[in-house]
Amino acid sequence: MNKTMLASALLCGSALAMTGCQTVENQMQTGNPLNQPALKSTIKTVDGKEKEVGQMFLRPVDGGVQVYGKLMNLQPGKTVALHIHETGSCADMGKAAGGHFNPDNKPHSNPDDMNGHAGDLPNLTANEDGVATINYVNKKISAAEAGKYSVNRLAFIVHANADDYKSQPAGNAGDRVACGIIEKA
């Protein structure tokens, strides 16, 4: 039994929720058993206070990049947009991050639409504690250090409102409220 199988057996046999077990099994199937994110981002408010409000991680998996993490300090029940923007700067209240990451010059769309922006992601909805999580496989980006589809050194932007997945160029998601530079984990 190699280390990976042992880790899986331990987790699956523990009192952890079933999802924890399945996650480890999925990781084994994807050939990236160590659960090491390649990239990460600390999300901070852009109101000048730079208060940390979340963490995001990116990990290569079969057919794409798993984007996972959480946002905190949201209004309970609130749904907000999260995107990867094309420039790795959070200056000027997040405006310096530019538009959505769009290496193939596509329109803004639903994140599952292969004909949409590579930086489009699903909306997040806060629970009663104001915490929202994401766990999504983006098939249009790379977690490599560089390259046309790499999101290394780009930026996450959290908006004040939900993305409608159709308005151009950015889903009518409202003001930029938080931002994080994506960097090597």
> Which range of residues in 31-39, 71-79, 82-90, 137-145 is near Cu ion by CB under 5 A?
82-90
Three-state SS sequence of 42-65: EEEECCCCCCEEEEEEEEEECCEE
d(CA 156, CA 44): 10
Contact flag: residue 85 with Zn ion (CB under 5 A): no
Interface residue with Cu ion among 44, 59, 70, 83 (CB under 5 A) is 83
Fill in the per-residue mask, 146 to 185: x = in contact with Cu ion (CB under 5 A), - = not in contact.
-----------x----------------------------
Contact flag: residue 90 with Cu ion (CB under 5 A): no
Residue nearest Cu ion by beta-carbon distance: 83
d(CA 158, CA 75): 13
CA distances from 111 to 92, 104, 117, 139 (A): 26, 14, 8, 9
Q: What are the residues binding Zn ion (CB under 5 A)?
A: 100, 108, 117, 120
